[in-house]
Amino acid sequence: MKSFFKCLFFLLIVSNGNSQQLVMRGDHADPSVVKIDDTYWASATTSNWFPAYPLLKSKDLVNWQQQGYVFTKKPDWVDYYFWAPEITYENGKVYIYYSAHKKGGNLCVGIASADKPEGPYTDHGPIICQTVGSIDAFPMRDEKGKLYMIWKEDGNSVGQPTPIWAQELNEERTALVGEKKELFRNDKPWEGNLVEGVSMIKNGDYYYAFYAAAACCGRECTYKTGVARAKNLLGPWEKYNKNPILENDEEWKCPGHGTPIEKNGKYYFLYHAYDNETSVYTGREGMLIEFRFTPDGWIEFVKENESKDVALTSITDKFRGNQLAQHWQWSVFQPVTYTQSGGELQLAAMPSPSGAYVGIKTTSGNYTATVRVRPGQTTAAAGLGAIGDDNNTIGAYYKDGLVRVVQLRDGKETELAQKNVARGKNLYLKMQVANGKDISFLYSTRGKRFQPLNEKVADGGYLPPWDRAIRVGLLSKGDASQRATFDRFQLQNQ
């Protein structure tokens, strides 16, 4: 009988785990969502990929379409780390509260606004800049209608606690008013060295604060989600004695940092988590789960196995028009120069270790990328590869009749293979990836029969930065006067 109950308990755990629904494949960390008229709008962290903060819209919270970015030009005060945007709407105006690293300073909270959710957005600069850093802003009105800013002081970056602060914000969103007050901090064993990512919702007598705790990112992450409540915005706040209310299951790891939202009388939480199989290679992906308010005044997630994850999609880019499609991004430290016309992309080279590059999010652990290089119009080393950051890539590069497979690790270059190829009008490069990291390169002069380049599979396990996933990309290496010319890029996910 005891073994029967153990099996029953295991089955319940497995069933409950499936109630988390994947709705945004690939890197969509710290997602935020708001309803504007009959449409939901969302954004997410881009970190050191640019343009910054995707703008996504949906009618059902499940199927999302990208509509551009908040920033296509860096705000003057920012140098890097575009984290944790909070998208909100009030009185016909859209506000983005975001975190970024200030030039010559630390992490600050900034504000941008627009008259419509797709933009254009006007940046209003930083509004909170504490010595150890300020991040994860969330606006909330108190019981008297006063507008407050809620945020985290980034004490964990210097080995200190992480208080969650609240301070009145003027209606113009240009300045904080009065004194800040601490709501709560990391003081429970399961919370580890931080609490962060606070978002709130009011229901009945209570304000409810969803928050994340412990280590957010990477293979060794321990992130979980908790909830606290208070009858007044400024407290006192009480943490739920059943925290954490959302944690690892058999499919998803380290769930947290999201926003509650209502739809048709039901409540949902949009947040991020790592896929247990593809892990850091696909990054923190956008998830959705239903929750409800309990008779005793708390929150519980609905454990019903009814939802289906959004399907994998493939991308074909024929480089039509004169602008890169919005699925391409580049390094915030290496703005790219390019021309696109007549179905071709000419990417200006850079002499940096990685060269210039543009990348697309990976959404599967198994995929194939193919691109056609135009040798007669290419003077740079033209590459197809897997990209971690400016100092960590693996790519196959063509130049002057030679294809080289090159690993860049911590800025140090190692050649893995090379092959002389017949010079012609076209050269096709192909990259096959398995398990998110096992990379094989092939080439063809006609695009049909591909020949292997590296006999030994390249290991891309080192590529993902601590807070981002691998991108698939096109690379151009050389001096600034040189160009790599590509046409017809295809990414096929399996």
| pLDDT tens-digit series, residues 201-247 | 999 999 999 999 999 999 999 999 999 999 999 999 999 999 999 99
Alpha-carbon gap, residue 255 to 244, rounded angstroms: 10
Q: What is the DSSP string of 447-461?
A: SSS-EES-SSPEE-T
Q: Which of 62, 41, 43 is nearest to 53 (CA)?
A: 43
Tens of pLDDT along 374-413?
Answer: 999 999 999 999 999 999 999 999 999 999 999 999 999 9
Q: How far apart are CA 6 and CA 17, in angstroms?
A: 17
Residue 422: per-residue pLDDT: 83
* pLDDT confidence tier of residue 324, bands split at 50, 70 and 90: very high
pLDDT of residue 252 exceeding 60: yes
Q: Which regions of 142-251 does DSSP assign to beta strands (E)?
A: 147-153, 164-169, 176-184, 195-203, 206-213, 224-230, 238-239
Handedness of CA 286, 298, 164, 34 (dihedral sign): positive
Residue 114 CB neighbours (<10 A): 16
Question: Could you read off the pLDDT of 116-157 as tens digits, one per residue?
Answer: 999 999 999 999 999 999 999 999 999 999 999 999 999 999
CA–CA gap between residue 254 and residue 266 (Å, rounded): 24
Which stretches of 29-70 are DSSP H helices? Answer: none
Q: For 251, left (φ over 0), alpha (ψ -120 to 50), or beta? A: alpha
Q: Which of 85, 491, 66, 438 is nearest to 281 (CA)?
A: 438
Beta carbons of 109 and 133 less than 8 angstroms apart = no
pTM score of the predicted model? 0.95
Q: How far apart are CA 131 and CA 95, in angstroms?
A: 25
pLDDT of amino acid 8:
39
Q: Is residue 86 within 8 Å of 199, Cβ to Cβ?
A: yes
